Structure 1
Amino acid sequence: MRWIYQLFEGVHILYKTTDQGVAEMVLNLNAVRITILSLMGPVYQKIYEDAA
C-alpha cells in the first residue's frame, strides 16, 4: 500500500472558477494510475471520475 500511496503523490485536483461555478480537474492521471484505480474498485474510481 505504501507504494500505491507514493505513486499517487503527483496527482492533484485543480479547482477553477467558471461561469457555472467551480470546476474540478484531476491533474497527472496517467495510464498506470488509472489501471490501479480500476483494480481498487468503483469507490476509488468515482473519487477521481467526479473531478475529471
Structure 2
Amino acid sequence: ADRLVAAAFGAPLVMAGAMVWTCADRRLLRTTAVLLAVTALCALVVVLRPH
C-alpha cells in the first residue's frame, strides 16, 4: 500500500519534472526542482510516518 501511495505521488512529480525540463530555462528549472523535491519529501514523511 505504501508503495502504491509513493507511486501515486511520484508519477505526477516525474511528469511535471519532464514538462518543466522541456520548456523551462535553467533558473526556473532549478527552482521547480527544489519545490518538487520538498513536495516529495513532505509526501514521504506523511506516508512513512507511523499511524
TM bucket by the smaller chain?
Answer: 0.3 to 0.5
Q: TM-score, normalised by structure 2?
A: 0.32
From the two aligned structures, give the one with the greater strand fraction.
Answer: 1
